[in-house]
Amino acid sequence: MRERSGVRARLNASSSSRFFASSMVCTRFAAGDDPDTRQARDRYWASRYERARQMITRAVDRGELADTTDPRLVLEMLVGPVHFKAVLTREAIDPGMPRRLVDALLDGVARSTPATDDQDGDNPDDGPAGATAVPR
């Protein structure tokens, strides 16, 4: 499967970076950070990261996941979209969302077979004109 360099480039563009940075500042400001709250939050997430580490380690041992899998990143990738809906947009969490998140994390979201192999710049998802497809 080719790398989605055009999508990656747009996500990393300066306007996107400013958007994400400002979102994080607003979230931190709204959450407050007094010492007791910070300590309780740190303990809570330390236990969740440890549980994720144990679960990922077992999956690696069974050969279900690559040994390079980062347990913390997996947990953050699963929690992030839920946090976004619950805290930032205040949308309801669809009961099917957790399964879709796990499927997307484990299977990926890019097409397994591109609809076209058009690299002439007509399709914004193709990346820069003349880019070479890179298998994953």
Could you report the per-residue pLDDT of 6-34, keeping only the tens digit for each?
545 555 555 555 555 565 566 666 566 78
Whole-model pTM: value is 0.56
Other Cβ atoms less than 10 A from the Cβ of 57: the count is 14
**Do residues 126 and 6 make contact, with C-beta atoms less than 8 angstroms apart?**
yes
pLDDT, tens digit, for every residue of 33-70? Answer: 788 888 888 899 899 899 989 999 999 999 988 999 99
How many CA atoms are closer than 13 Å to the CA of 80, on its beta-carbon side?
A: 13
Q: What pLDDT is recorded for position 110?
A: 77
Average pLDDT, the chain: 74
